[in-house]
């Protein structure tokens, strides 16, 4: 099965048969954009997108009683009759009807089961390998997932997620200083902690998916679990080649939404998830889009991801465990 070809056909069919979906993708072509850049030389950039169609997601109420009452929009019986699917390994791949990207897919479990990454990181990497040129992303149940009651990934073109290209162009390890630190390079594995624009993240790159999976599980054991039984986190995954065949970014989360979240004066209706932390901030309100600054972005990122000291400690614990294992 050539999943890339299947999804290209699915996308074209849905544009032809579903007028409301086609209108949203057409309007995305006319979206307004802003580019924000950090202050340091060579600093990362973020794109800001004005996208009114994302209001539903940004303003979603995720209280348990609300989720219980609402119909699950990822279950087939609650979806529009026009919505089609392609089945893949226990999942259904569908065109996202509220797009952020020029091609935006949702990959949901065929069963209604909670948003938990445990036991599914291999699926995520396999999906990325089956979709070259795409980045697959995951939002934890209280880290931006708009459907925390039904397991799902999403996927979009890698070239439209700014961080994917930025991280590939990092300087060599000898040049990695204050912002790009804790590099540990092995023959088939590269991993480090990265702090930029207020974001803390872990980046793993390796030749074999088993290595990335092993390090991911080690990291999970070091991050504090949330009330949902897994660490608060957002994950990006994409395929490459050679020693970078599998690429994985984990954003460890401290809180779900920033203190400035809301629709009042001096507030922003922004609920950061993988896409935002990946360098594409979507804002549903025109006033938010026009006034947000790089300082606002840095403050938001800093509030919702864990501190750099915490991130360093987690990697140190992994290294300590590794040394204990080698000692035996």
Q: Contact 202/249 with Cβ under 8 angstroms?
A: yes
Average pLDDT over residues 21-40: 91
Say if 126 falls within a structural domain: yes
Residues 6+ apart with CB under 8 A from 108: 74, 91, 92, 94, 147, 150, 151, 152, 153
pLDDT (tens digit per residue) in 161-192: 999 988 877 654 433 333 433 445 454 556 66
Say if 2 falls within a structural domain: no
Say if 183 falls within a structural domain: yes
Instruction: Enter the pTM of the model.
Output: 0.90
Segment among 69-83, 169-183, 208-222, 224-238 with least mean pLDDT: 169-183
Say if 23 falls within a structural domain: no
Say if 11 falls within a structural domain: no
The pLDDT value recorded for residue 68 is 55
Reply yes or no on whether the pLDDT at 65 is more than 60.
Answer: no
The pLDDT value recorded for residue 323 is 64
Q: Are strands 280-283 and 45-50 parallel, antiparallel or unpaired?
A: parallel
The pLDDT value recorded for residue 63 is 52
Tokens of 28: 């995305």
Query: Which CATH number belongs to the domain containing residue 50 in this structure?
Result: 3.30.428.70
Say if 13 falls within a structural domain: no
Tokens of 156: 């979009």
Say if 76 falls within a structural domain: yes
Residue at token pair 């294992």? 325
Domain count for the chain: 1
Residue span of the structural domain in which 153 resides: 34-327
Reply yes or no on whether the pLDDT at 69 is more than 70.
Answer: no
pLDDT (tens digit per residue) in 108-138: 999 999 999 999 999 999 999 999 999 999 9
Distance CA 200, CA 297 (A): 13
Average pLDDT, the chain: 85
Residue 160: which of 47, 52, 38, 273 has the closest Cα? 47
Say if 4 falls within a structural domain: no
Q: Contact 269/283 with Cβ under 8 angstroms?
A: yes
Average pLDDT over residues 13-36: 95
């Amino acid at each position: 099965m050539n999943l890339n070809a299947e999804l290209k056909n699915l996308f074209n069919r849905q544009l032809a048969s579903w007028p409301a979906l086609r209108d949203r993708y057409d309007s995305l072509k006319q979206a307004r954009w802003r580019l924000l850049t950090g202050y340091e030389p060579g600093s990362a950039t973020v794109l800001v997108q004005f996208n009114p169609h994302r209001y539903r997601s940004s303003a979603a109420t995720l209280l348990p009683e609300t989720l219980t009452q609402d119909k699950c929009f990822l279950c087939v019986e609650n979806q529009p009759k026009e919505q089609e699917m392609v089945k893949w390994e226990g999942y259904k791949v569908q065109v996202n009807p509220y797009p952020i990207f020029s091609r935006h897919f949702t990959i949901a479990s065929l069963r209604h089961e909670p948003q938990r990454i445990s036991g599914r990181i291999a699926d995520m990497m396999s999906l990325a390998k089956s979709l070259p040129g795409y980045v697959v992303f995951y939002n934890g149940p209280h880290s931006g997932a708009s459907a925390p009651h039904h397991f799902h990934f999403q996927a979009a073109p890698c070239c439209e997620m700014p961080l994917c290209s930025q991280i590939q162009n990092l300087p060599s390890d000898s040049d990695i200083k204050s912002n790009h630190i804790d590099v540990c390079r092995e023959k088939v594995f590269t991993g480090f902690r990265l702090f930029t624009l207020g974001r803390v993240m872990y980046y793993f790159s390796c030749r074999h998916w088993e290595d990335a999976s092993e390090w991911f599980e080690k990291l999970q054991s070091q991050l504090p679990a949330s009330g949902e039984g897994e660490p608060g986190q957002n994950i990006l995954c994409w395929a490459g080649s050679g020693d970078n065949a599998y690429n994985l970014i984990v954003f460890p989360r401290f809180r779900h939404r920033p203190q400035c979240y809301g629709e009042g004066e001096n507030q922003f209706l922004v609920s950061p998830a993988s896409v935002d932390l990946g360098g594409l901030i979507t804002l549903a309100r025109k006033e938010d889009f026009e006034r947000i600054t790089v300082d606002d972005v840095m403050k938001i990122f800093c509030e919702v991801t864990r501190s750099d000291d915490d991130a360093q400690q987690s990697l140190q614990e992994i290294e300590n465990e590794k040394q204990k294992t080698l000692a035996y």
